[in-house]
Amino acid sequence: MYLLNRKQRHTVNSTWMIISLLLVALLPFLLFIGLYLKSVLLLHDYSLADLIFSKVWRPSAGKFGFYPFIIGSVWVTVVAMLITAPICLLTAIYVTQYTKKFFLRIMHPAIDILAGIPSVVYGLWGILVIVPFISRYLGPWLDVKTMGYSILAASFVLSIMIIPFVLNILIEIFRSIPTELKEAALSLGATQWQTIKHVLLRKALPGIIAAFGFGLARAFGETMAVLMVVGNVVRLPKSVFDPGYTLPALIANNYGEMLSIPKYDSALMFAALLLLAVSLFFNLVMHFFIVRYNKY
Q: Within 146-205, which residues bind another protein (CB under 8 A)?
A: 160, 163, 167, 191-194
Smallest distance from another protein to CB 196, Å: 8
Q: Which is nearer to another protein, 34 or 144 (CB)?
A: 34
Distance between CA atoms of residues 275 and 288, nearest Å: 20
Which residues are CB-contacts of 272 (< 8 A; sequence separation ≥ 6)?
35, 39, 251
CB 132 within 8 A of CB 231: no
CB burial of residue 124 (10 Å; 0-12, 13-18, 19+)? middle
Find the shortest distance in angstroms from Cβ 90 to another protein.
4
For another protein, the binding residue among 100, 116, 178, 180 (CB under 8 A) is 116
The reply to whether 94 sits near another protein by the rule CB under 8 A is yes
- Footprint on residues 57-76 left by another protein (CB under 8 A): none
Residue 107 near another protein by CB under 8 A: yes
* Near another protein by CB under 8 A: residue from 3, 6, 187, 295: 6
Region near another protein per CB under 8 A, out of 61-69, 173-181, 200-208, 274-282 = 274-282
Is 33 or 48 the residue whose CB approaches another protein more closely? 33
137 in contact with another protein (CB under 8 A): no
- Least separation in angstroms between residue 143's CB and another protein is 26
d(CA 265, CA 85) in angstroms, rounded, equals 36
- Least distance from C-beta 238 to another protein, angstroms? 27
Does residue 24 interact with another protein by CB under 8 A? yes
The answer to whether residue 119 forms part of the interface with another protein (CB under 8 A) is yes
Nearer CB in complex with another protein: 56/129 = 129
By CB under 8 A, the residues from 211 to 270 that bind another protein are 214, 217-218, 220-224, 228, 248, 251-252, 255, 268-269
Contact 225, 161 (CB under 8 A): yes
Comparison of 118 and 140: residue with beta carbon closer to another protein:
118
90 binds another protein (CB under 8 A): yes
